[in-house]
Structures are given as structure tokens and as C-alpha cells.
A = this chain, B = another copy of it.
Amino acid sequence: MTRKLFELCGTETERVFSPFCWRTRMALAHKDIKAETIPWRFSEKDAIAPHQSDKVPVLIDGETSIADSWAIANYLEDTYPDRPSLFGGEGGRAMGRMLNWWGDTVVLGGIFPMIAADIHGLLRPADQAYFRKTREARLGKTLEEAAANRDQAVEGFRNALNPMRLTLKTQTYLGGTSPNYADYIVFGPFQWARATSPFKLLKEDDPVYAWREKLLDAFGGMARNSPGYVV
């Protein structure tokens, strides 16, 4: 059985960059489950419409298709219980829901204005028009205005990572002594930035930087070997 994963890319099909797709990529690797990438672009809504979604990731696993990174993580945990656990039990699954929202609002939402203009530069012209229109509405400013403010914005972003930074003082990963889905939740947005932007989000002496290095090396350097900037 060939599993397939629709993953967001721009002009280069190898440069898969969606933060949500990266959460799923890492979750699949954690479970040691292979899936073939189907490159997908913002304007290709028709390709995933049969799977009741207008966004990626969409995972096709035999007769089943699942959209949304959180739903996919839960599907993988429930369908492949004998593989390494993504949540470390039901408490981790429940708390993971909140960490997922923290990852979406604080990490992904914090990074987005700083890299949006760079993402735009990687897209095909048709996708550029869609991206600019929808994202500028969300930002309340132009992509270029958001980028111009990033040296200042990054300070607030780094401060907002404090709960994570303090956690890493006493454990190597958010998941404990080894990484689990809690780590992939936060790593996804960092890998999105790495794939799309040369902007330096973290200082090298930050424990979050050291944590990110470990996840770049995980699964045989899967994330590090994917197209991206050295940041």
C-alpha cells in the first residue's frame, strides 16, 4: 500500500514548507511510516477537494483520507498504536491539544509576519496573487510592511517562547527525554521559516536554538537535508 501526503510547495517541488505539513512529516517519521509526497500549491484546490479539504496536509492511507495536522496525528496514534507513541498516553493527547493551539497562535502566528514576504517570493505568479490578497487581509498591512518591522517584532517573539525555554532547562524535549508530537507542533513552524526565509529567529545561545538543532538532526537529518536556509 502506498501512502500519499499532499504537501505545500512553491516553484520548487522539493522545498515543502507548510508548518502543518512538517508536523505531519515528523509524526510519520516518528511512527516510521513512509508516505510519498504529492506536491501541492495554493491554487490547486481541485486536487484535494475530493478529500473534503481546501488545505494541506491531506494524508491518504489506503481507503482513508484525513485532513488537518492535528486530526492526522490522532489518526496515526489510534491506527498504529504499536508504533512509538506521539502523545505518551491520554494525558499527553489532551495537553497536546493546548500545546497545538499555543504553537498555532504564539509560534506560528508570531513567525508569520516576519517571513510572509519571503514566502511570497517562492511562489508561482498565480499563487502569489492569492497569497498576497489573503495574507495582507490577515496581517492588516502589506507583506513588505510586515517584513520591515521584523527586527523589532523578533524581540517579542523570543520573549513569548519563555514557557518553552524554561521547560528546556530541565528536560531535553517538550515530550521529555525523547521528542514526541509536542516537539513537532513547535518544530513545524520553525522548519517553515527555515525553508522559506533567511531571517534569524533565534540567537545561537538560546536553549530553543539547541533544541531546534536536535530536531533538524532527527530521523537521519530529514529536516536539515530538506531545502532551507542555515539560520
A171 engages B97 (CB within 8 Å): yes
Instruction: Report if A121 contacts B (CB, 8 A).
Output: no
A98 engages B176 (CB within 8 Å): no
A91 engages B175 (CB within 8 Å): yes
A101 neighbours in B (Cβ, 8 Å): 162-164, 166-167
Instruction: Report if A102 contacts B (CB, 8 A).
Output: yes
Closest to A99 in B: B95
Interface 9-mer from A13-21, A82-90, A187-195, A212-220: A82-90
What 1/0 flags go to A85-122 for Cβ under 8 Å of B?
A: 10111111111111101101110000000000000000
Instruction: Report if A197 contacts B (CB, 8 A).
Output: no
Interface residues of A in 170-200 (CB under 8 A from B): 170-171, 173-176, 180, 182
- Shortest distance between the CB of A85 and any CB in chain B (Å): 7
- Shortest distance between the CB of A82 and any CB in chain B (Å): 16
B91 engages A93 (CB within 8 Å): yes
**Given contacts A162-B105, A180-B91, A97 and B170 within 8 Å (CB-CB):** yes
Interface residues of A in 51-88 (CB under 8 A from B): 85, 87-88
B106 engages A176 (CB within 8 Å): no
- Shortest distance between the CB of A83 and any CB in chain B (Å): 15
- Shortest distance between the CB of A38 and any CB in chain B (Å): 28
A-B pairs with beta carbons under 8 Å apart, 5 shown: A91-B92, A94-B174, A95-B174, A102-B102, A105-B166
| Given contact pairs A89-B91, A92-B92, A94-B173, a sample of 4 additional A-B residue pairs in the complex whose CB atoms are under 8 Å apart | A101-B166, A102-B163, A104-B163, A105-B163
